[in-house]
């Protein structure tokens, strides 16, 4: 083993500062979406911009480049599973990506995104796309300028690849096109068979006051592993999770008194994200290793808790008495098979975050198609509402009824996150693959869940996924844990299997592909 070079200490110091600044950025973002008075938005945009300038300057610092160059020979011969070699590798990738982008542009993007987010909120509240259009055009213009920064490099085959790489490093447009073709081909018949057969009432019928929902959420979260010493839960328009450190994890949810499923599943979903952050290896604190390796993996964690756990039969067995305890009325008359059926019912709907697990990826296919068209220049922002409605009709067979349930339903584009949506589908696919692997290693997992014991699952995820942080790429991690590449079939098989098991399909629909 090679001796530790003296540059490593300085590299760690720099990684520590970048991690601290990233934690601060997390707080700015969390606060903006939960606590900040509306009038504070402009000042917050300035603060984001100031922070972004500093982080970008740190990442592009020529001195960092020299340190990385000096460490390269050592890293090449060091243990590839060692932490320090991974730190060098991560910082080299971040440095190389950042140096292509001028600091002024990075700062402009940060500020424009903060403004567009506020414009999106106003447009949504007033059902007026025009209030959002100029801000989104600005975001798109800056996105094009960002993509153009990589024109001279050979790293990316497609402009959209530049964006994907920010969220799921190494993911390509070509790969995604193939995935979405398969998904559309396979999901459309599955959805129509199940939607025709299934019920069409609400997942959880009834009106439940926010207080009761909150008491339920607290018990639910405590059971799965939420610890108030290190976590908190608040309300926001768009549920999300953000951590300032592995010891400071913030979840948000949305309380809808006529739609318990919103808080119930968003709490489980955001818990999955939060647990990934909370179970990072404390030894990696203040390094790039205490970060998610990609948002696809991040999303696999939220989907796993929301769907593979939260909509499973054993979970229904455990949770029904909890529902009965906190929410009088409708749950007395329901038994496990009905609950299991209800929470898995297939029902075409307009809003992505209210979509069931089966139709969900069609919502992502729609967004992938539209944002790709925006980036390729086939679609102008002003035509986006019509394009949205057309795609909704074509992919979901539904007519859009309002902007809030249409093109203005998601915060992402307004927050500058173009290329982000596909990670949701990647997460769904990975979650199914991971579940196969963990079921094989934890044969009693169903019994544990039915008994409300989530510790074996948490520990498996911690040891196999969370603790690794950014030490391996998503592909490497998936390969290590499942022995496989990213695949669509395990997800489709899981979906169909559950629909059959829950009585929502009477016979198989899919023709197994070779």
Known catalytic residues are: 270
Does the footprint of its own copies cover residue 415 (CB under 8 A)?
Answer: no
Nearer to its own copies, 22 or 468 (CB): 22
46 part of the interface to its own copies, by CB under 8 A: yes
If binding is defined by CB under 8 A, does position 240 make contact with its own copies? Answer: no
Question: Long-range CB contacts (< 8 A, 24+ apart) of 397-404?
Answer: 397/348, 398/348, 398/349, 398/350, 400/350, 401/350, 402/127, 403/123, 403/124, 403/127, 403/128, 403/129, 404/124, 404/127
Among 228, 329, 377, 508, binds its own copies (CB under 8 A): 228
Q: State the pairing for strand pair 248-253/231-235.
A: parallel
Told to check if 235 binds its own copies by CB under 8 A, we report no
For its own copies, the closer CB: 267 or 372: 267
Q: Smallest gap, in angstroms, from Cβ of residue 294 to its own copies?
A: 23
How many angstroms separate the CA atoms of 250 and 244, rounded? Answer: 8
Among 31-39, 260-268, 319-327, 478-486, the segment contacting its own copies (CB under 8 A): 31-39
Contact pattern from residue 269 through residue 298 relative to its own copies, giving x for each residue in contact according to CB under 8 A and a dash for the rest: ----------------xx------------
- Measured CA to CA, the distance from residue 273 to residue 240 in angstroms comes to 9
How far is it, in rounded angstroms, from Cα 469 to Cα 397?
A: 40
Strand segments, DSSP code E, in 301-437 are: none
Structure tokens at 487: 């695949």
The residue among 57 and 72 lying less far from its own copies, judged by its C-beta, is: 57
d(CA 348, CA 345): 10
* 109 contributes a contact to its own copies by CB under 8 A: no
- Pick between residue 139 and residue 244 the one whose CB is nearest to its own copies: 244
Report how far apart, in Å, the C-alpha atoms of 117 and of each of 45, 46, 120, 163, 268 are: 10, 14, 5, 19, 25
18-26, 75-83, 203-211, 379-387 -> range binding its own copies (CB under 8 A): 18-26
Q: Is 102 in the site for its own copies (CB under 8 A)?
A: no
Between 38 and 512, name the residue whose CB sits nearer to its own copies: 38
The least CB distance from residue 37 to its own copies, in Å, is 5
How far, CA to CA in Å, does 511 sit from each of 118, 189, 508?
46, 11, 8
Pick the closer one to its own copies by CB: 234 or 459.
Answer: 234
The verdict on 125 binding its own copies (CB under 8 A) reads no
Shortest reach from residue 253's CB to its own copies, in Å: 16
Q: How far is the CB of 226 from its own copies (least distance, A)?
A: 10
Closer Cβ to its own copies, 42 or 63, answer by number: 42
Using CA of residue 299, residue 355, residue 486, residue 497, what is the dihedral sign?
A: positive
Distance, CA of 128 to CA of 165 (rounded, Å):
32
Task: For tokens 């610890």, name the residue.
Answer: 227
DSSP-assigned letter for residue 98: H
Structure tokens at 205: 């019928």
Give min distance, CB of 34 to its own copies, in A: 8
Judge contact between 457 and 439, C-beta under 8 A.
no
Contact with its own copies (CB under 8 A) among 8, 21, 353, 373: 21
- Contact residues: its own copies, CB under 8 A: 16-17, 20-21, 23-24, 27-28, 31, 35-40, 42-44, 46-47, 49-51, 53-54, 227-232, 244-245, 247-249, 285-286
């Amino acid at each position: 083993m090679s001796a530790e070079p003296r540059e490593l200490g300085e590299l760690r110091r720099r990684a520590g500062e970048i991690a601290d600044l990233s934690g601060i950025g997390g707080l700015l973002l969390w606060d903006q979406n939960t606590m900040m008075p509306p009038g504070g938005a402009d000042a917050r945009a300035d603060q984001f911009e100031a922070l972004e300038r500093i982080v970008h300057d740190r990442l592009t610092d020529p001195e960092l480049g020299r340190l990385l160059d000096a460490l390269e020979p050592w890293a090449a011969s060091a243990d590839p599973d060692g932490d320090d070699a991974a730190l060098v590798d991560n910082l080299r990738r971040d440095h190389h990506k950042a140096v292509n982008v001028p600091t002024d542009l990075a700062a402009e993007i940060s500020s424009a995104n903060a403004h567009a987010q506020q414009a999106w909120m106003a447009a949504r509240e007033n059902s007026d796309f025009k209030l959002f259009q100029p801000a989104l055009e600005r975001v798109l213009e800056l996105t094009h300028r960002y993509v153009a920064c990589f024109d001279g490099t050979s790293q990316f085959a497609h402009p959209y690849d530049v964006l994907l790489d920010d969220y799921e490093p190494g993911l390509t447009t070509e790969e995604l096109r193939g995935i979405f073709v398969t998904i559309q081909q396979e999901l459309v018949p599955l959805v129509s068979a199940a939607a025709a057969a299934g019920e069409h009432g609400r997942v959880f019928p009834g009106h439940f006051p926010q207080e009761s929902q909150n008491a339920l959420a607290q018990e639910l979260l405590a059971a799965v592993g939420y610890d108030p010493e290190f976590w908190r839960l608040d309300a926001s328009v768009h549920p999300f999770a953000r951590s300032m450190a592995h010891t400071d994890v913030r979840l948000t949810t949305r309380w809808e008194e006529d739609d318990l499923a919103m808080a119930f599943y968003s709490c489980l979903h955001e818990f999955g994200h939060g647990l990934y952050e909370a179970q990072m290896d404390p030894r990696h604190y203040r390094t790039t290793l205490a970060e998610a390796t990609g948002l696809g993996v991040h999303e696999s964690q939220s989907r796993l808790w929301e769907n593979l756990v939260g909509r499973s039969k054993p979970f229904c067995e455990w949770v029904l008495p909890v529902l009965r305890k906190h929410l009088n009325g409708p749950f007395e008359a329901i038994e496990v098979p009905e609950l299991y059926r209800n929470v898995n019912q297939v029902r075409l709907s307009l809003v992505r975050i209210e979509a069931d697990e089966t139709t969900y990826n069609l919502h992502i296919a729609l967004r992938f198609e539209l944002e790709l068209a925006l980036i390729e220049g086939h679609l102008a922002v002003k035509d986006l509402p019509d394009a949205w409605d057309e795609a909704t009709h074509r992919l979901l067979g539904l007519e859009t009824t309002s902007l809030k349930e249409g093109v203005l339903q998601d915060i992402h584009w307004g927050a500058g996150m173009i290329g982000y949506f596909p990670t949701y589908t990647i997460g769904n696919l990975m979650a199914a693959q991971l579940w196969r692997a963990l079921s094989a290693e934890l044969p009693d997992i169903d019994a544990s869940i039915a008994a409300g014991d989530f510790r074996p699952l948490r520990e498996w995820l911690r040891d196999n996924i969370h603790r690794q942080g950014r030490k391996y790429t998503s592909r490497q991690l998936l390969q290590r844990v499942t022995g496989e590449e990213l695949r669509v079939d395990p997800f489709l098989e899981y979906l169909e299997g559950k629909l059959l098991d829950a009585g929502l399909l009477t016979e198989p629909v899919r023709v197994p592909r070779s």
